[in-house]
Amino acid sequence: MKPVVVTCALTGGADISSRKNPAVPVSPAEIAASAIEAAAAGAAIVHIHVRDPATTLPSMELALYREVVERIRDRNADVVLNLTTGAGGRFIPGADEPGTGGPGTTLALPAVRTRHVEALRPEICTLDVATMNFGEHAFMNTPAHLREMAASAKRAGARPEIEVFDLGQIELARRLIADGHLDEPPLFQICLGIPWGAPATPETMIAMRDRLPANAVWSAFGISRQQFPMVALAAMLGGNVRVGLEDNLYLAAGTLAPGNAALVEKAVSLLAHLDFRPATPEEARTIVKLPAR
């Protein structure tokens, strides 16, 4: 059975997901425990955001990231850590002064968005090559900021996972690779179904896969009810997969997922029916071409 890398996105940066499903981990202890459970269920990589334990809202606090990472490392859990740098990219125009960020804006300098990566040195960090409408706010990642964040990841020894939400973003990523800001072979995550990015359809995934550099390593996911159809499709198209409560709160129609491990277990079962198996963390390091540490 061919190994497929399963990533579990544990909690995400949505304001309301923890209120829609109480299983979404919030505190550093909960996030670390969920990571370890997901790894035991078959996830080789865990993708980490943090939340303010008092408010449950997304946070950028270094101390929260540090606690999550240290709790996982203290358990000697064999799992690849992937820290987000997407936090700090949200812009909401002010009602009276649209050039000034209104309530809910988190737009921050690249150094702020990557300080936890440089401090904690994960094996992977995300790099969202995307400026787009993201629901009701704008998600902003300008080329200059992306160059700075890529340099920060390189200093930390972290492999950037290039997140793309539409075809034009792949073209920008290709330019960053050609100009030497991102190393080859690149690692891509195709993100589908996010309002207002590319839809989670077979045609879209195929089109985006076909625009990746020929030597790219890639994974893909769909959100909500498209999470598991996109798992099957990505594996069949030669990619790796991602599941987790960041992207989908339900185990089945009308049934809230009791935790991240349950979503990983369902993905592993689905892959087995297609004659794939989850890659071990060591196999994943080889498949996604992580640098020697």
Per-residue pLDDT, 19:
86
> Could you tell me the pLDDT band of residue 64, with boundaries at 50, 70 and 90?
very high
Asked, for residue 192, whether it belongs to a domain, the answer is yes
**Mind listing the pLDDT tens digit for each residue in 146-182?**
999 999 999 999 999 999 999 999 999 999 999 999 9
Per-residue pLDDT, 292:
65
105: alpha, beta or left? (left if phi > 0; alpha if psi -120 to 50): beta
Cis omega before residue 25 (within 30°)?
no
Query: Amino acid identity of 111?
Result: A
Domain of 207 in residue numbering reads as 2-287
For residue 6, what is the domain's CATH number? 3.20.20.70
Per-residue pLDDT, 293:
61
Asked, for residue 293, whether it belongs to a domain, the answer is no
Number of domains present in the structure of the chain: 1
138 is written with which tokens? 């704008």
**Mind listing the pLDDT tens digit for each residue in 1-59?**
999 999 999 999 888 887 899 999 999 999 999 999 999 999 999 999 999 999 999 99
Asked, for residue 49, whether it belongs to a domain, the answer is yes
**Mind listing the pLDDT tens digit for each residue in 194-212?**
999 999 999 999 999 999 9
Asked, for residue 67, whether it belongs to a domain, the answer is yes
Asked, for residue 59, whether it belongs to a domain, the answer is yes
Residue 7 and residue 82 in contact, taking contact as beta carbons nearer than 8 Å: yes
Per-residue pLDDT, 15:
82
| Chain centre to alpha carbon of residue 72 | 18
> Could you tell me the pLDDT band of residue 102, with boundaries at 50, 70 and 90?
very high
Per-residue pLDDT, 88:
93
Asked, for residue 157, whether it belongs to a domain, the answer is yes
**Mind listing the pLDDT tens digit for each residue in 236-288?**
999 999 999 999 999 999 999 999 999 999 999 999 999 999 999 999 999 99
Question: Strand 255-256 and strand 250-252: pairing?
Answer: antiparallel
138: pLDDT strictly greater than 80: yes
83: pLDDT strictly greater than 90: yes
User: Taking every pair of C-alpha atoms in the chain, what is the biggest distance, in angstroms?
Assistant: 58
Average pLDDT, the chain: 96
User: What's the mean pLDDT in 80-104?
Assistant: 93
Look at residue 155 and give its three-state secondary structure.
helix
How far from 211 is each of 172, 215, 261, CA to CA, in Å? 11, 11, 32
Asked, for residue 121, whether it belongs to a domain, the answer is yes
